[in-house]
Amino acid sequence: MSGVRVLVGTRKGAFILTSDGKREQWNVSGPHFAGWEIYHVNGSPVNPDRLYASQSSGWFGQMIQRSDDGGKTWEAVGNKFAYEGVPGTHQWYDGTQHPWAFARVWHLEPSLTDVDTVYAGVEDAALFRSVDGGQTWQELPGLREHGSGPRWQPGAGGMCLHTIVLDPSDPERIFIAISAAGAFRTDDGGKTWQPINRGLKSEGIPDPNAEVGHCVHHMAIHPSRPGTLFMQKHWDIMRSDDAGDSWREVSGNLPSDFGFPIAVHAHEPETIYVVPIKSDSEHFPPEGKLRVYRSRTGGNEWEALTNGLPQSDCYVNVLRDAMAVDSLDSCGIYFGTTGGQVYASADAGDTWAPIVRDLPAVLSVEVQTLP
């Protein structure tokens, strides 16, 4: 019988949650790497037992861990992230130029076709790739050297490359997003990049047509329609149907269009999910009600999903990498909160239940559908 494995990164370790296809009874394993910040854990689509984890610490720096048995055992692999050449400067909070400096790995994206190839999005923003299972890392410098780098600036969480979307129909095409620079696309396997931010409107940027400077929070695609991108920006839910060449807002009737994650249903390319947050100053759900919003029309028309979620006195946040879907026949949706809950829905969001309630603050959630 098929099952699911939920990979959870938290402020104090990683947890692995497993269940059969019914998704009713759960086994919780962890903490792995207890006491460390686990920004992201992700599995290879080629071999689901190959996992990669970003383990970091303000004291001890960055580690990358790899598992070949679905997270039962782990091996530390390479942690040398060296920018190519002289990395130059980016804009600092006060508007001055600031040297590029590596801080941590935010996101790990395993290749769709090769188990030993994995991409790493890092702070200060850059994209690295390993082709030897994480032992060594090489930067794809064409992104950082795009030319707009001196105008990139950190968001509140640092200047991080946090989203990597691989196009399943074109191995040369990759989408990435940086806070706060915006979204970029390569069509030649990472050699050259172009900003894809036309149509994004960001308060605080005087130029309404600014090429970069946008605080994109997350992006997602459906594998069957890789030209359609959905974006949760700092404010605004956005949609592109031309691979990012242009964007239009689809926030519609949401109570707030501020938020962090966005996800697409595994079998319905026009069904998308967001978790509205009150504002950029108050990172918790409006009215203290934790509500996932679902649109079955690719945006604009949204319905609140509340069954099983706390509808009073709830003041948690859901971070950008903390929502994911499985691909079982009835699509499962999962998200983790800064309050340490991981919620799951086995019916596309109609009903929810917590898998665990008291983990450390959740930084990331990924889901593997197992054969």
Residue 80 in contact with other proteins, rule: CB under 8 A:
yes
57, 169, 209, 279: which one contacts other proteins (CB under 8 A)? Answer: 57
Among the listed ranges 30-38, 180-188, 233-241, 346-354, the one in contact with other proteins (CB under 8 A) is 30-38
Q: How far is the CB of 35 from other proteins (least distance, A)?
A: 6
What is the number of alpha carbons within 13 Å of residue 114 lying toward its C-beta? 11
Q: For Cα atoms 318, 263, 104, give the angle at the middle one, nearest 5 degrees.
A: 55
Going 235 to 157 to 42 to 348, the CA torsion angle's sign is: negative
Q: Which residues make beta-bridge pairs with 18?
A: 5, 27
Contacts of residue 153, defined as CB under 8 A and 6 or more positions apart, other chains included, come to 90, 91, 92, 93, 159, 180, 181, 213
Q: Is 81 in the site for other proteins (CB under 8 A)?
A: yes
Collapsed DSSP state (helix, strand, coil) of residue 13:
strand
Asked whether position 99 contacts other proteins by CB under 8 A, the answer is no
Stretch of 73-81, 143-151, 300-308, 318-326 contacting other proteins, by CB under 8 A: 73-81
- Min dist. Cβ of residue 128 to other proteins (A): 13
Q: Which stretch binds other proteins (CB under 8 A): 58-66, 207-215, 291-299, 316-324?
A: 58-66
Question: How many other β-carbons are positioned within 10 Å of the β-carbon of residue 75?
Answer: 12
52 near other proteins (CB under 8 A): no
Q: Strand pairing of 104-110 and 225-233?
A: unpaired
Q: Does 72 bind other proteins (CB under 8 A)?
A: no
Alpha carbon distance 170, 190 (integer Å) = 12
CB of 115 to other proteins, least distance (A): 22
Number of residues that bind other proteins (CB under 8 A): 16
List the one residue from 22, 69, 82, 329 that touches other proteins (CB under 8 A): 82
Task: List C-alpha distances in Å: 315 to 274, 305, 307, 334, 355.
Answer: 16, 17, 17, 18, 19
Binding to other proteins (CB under 8 A) within 102-161 occurs at: 102
Q: Which lies closer to other proteins via its Cβ, residue 81 or residue 343?
A: 81
Residues 6+ apart with CB under 8 A from 90: 97, 98, 100, 124, 125, 149, 150, 151, 152, 153, 154, 159
Shortest Å distance, C-beta 37 to other proteins: 10
256 belongs to the binding site for other proteins (CB under 8 A): no
- 60 part of the interface to other proteins, by CB under 8 A: yes
Does residue 61 bind other proteins (CB under 8 A)? yes
If the CB atoms of residues 75 and 172 are measured against other proteins, the closer one turns out to be 75
Please give the residue ranges that form the binding site for other proteins (CB under 8 A).
Answer: 34-36, 57-63, 76, 79-82, 102
